Amino acid sequence: MTNSRWFLVRHGETEWNNTGRAQGQADTPLNARGRAQAALTGTRLQPLEFEAAYSSDLSRVVATAEAIVSARDMPLTKMESLREKGFGDWEGMTFAEVEERHPSLFRRLFDEDIVFAPPGGESDQQLYDRLSAAADSLTGAHADSEGNILVVAHGGSLRALIVSLMGMPPEYMWRLRLSNCGITVVNIFDGGAALELLNDTSHLGDVIKDVFAS
């Protein structure tokens, strides 16, 4: 029986995280705290060997992933399909601003209304479908693996990936808390998956600060 371990890491903090802005697919860089978080995550995972490493193609994720794989002689595969949920017209706005300007729409964002999409953005169902397809592609590519796989992405896209791997409905994705540079481990085996670790931030010490924003 094959049994691979998937290490899922959310990117480090950005200034938009720090100020509570919806990032979505805007290409924002890590801030100083985020770079420190990424370095600590690299140190935490340094003893492990990875068979493959994947990341979203947005710079905050690439920088986090590179801090993890930089000491290894291995490629980093960047995938557009691992990008964050698109928040459309709301990207760059604080969630407080969205709530003030669009109170009824803002409530739908947190009501597990999977068909609701911010203006110009993606619904939770669309996010789930996109990450389910990515999960199928990645698990298919490593169907015979018994090693470790690294996936670095975003809070929303990783939630969708996790619930897809675990066979959970898309409504469950926002019930998971994923902090900046938190580590989640999912065991993938023949016929199923098991959650081994969720949002471990013990390696971050006093740079754990996390604000809800993708």
Q: Which of 11, 13, 122, 154 is catalytic?
A: 11
Residue pointed to by tokens 């690299």: 42
Q: Which of 13, 51, 84, 91 is catalytic?
A: 84
Q: CA neighbours within 13 Å on the CB side: how many for 134?
A: 28
Please confirm, yes or no, whether 146 is among the known catalytic residues: no
- In whole angstroms, what is the distance from residue 41 CA to residue 62 CA? 14
- In whole angstroms, what is the distance from residue 214 CA to residue 139 CA? 25
C-alpha 213 chain-centroid distance: 11
How distant, in Å, are the alpha carbons of 93, 153, 195 from that of 191? 42, 25, 14
Q: Is residue 90 within 8 Å of 98, Cβ to Cβ?
A: yes
Residue 73 CB neighbour total at 10 angstroms: 5
- In whole angstroms, what is the distance from residue 179 CA to residue 28 CA? 17
The residue count of the chain comes to: 214
Please confirm, yes or no, whether 203 is among the known catalytic residues: no
Residue numbers annotated as active site: 11, 84
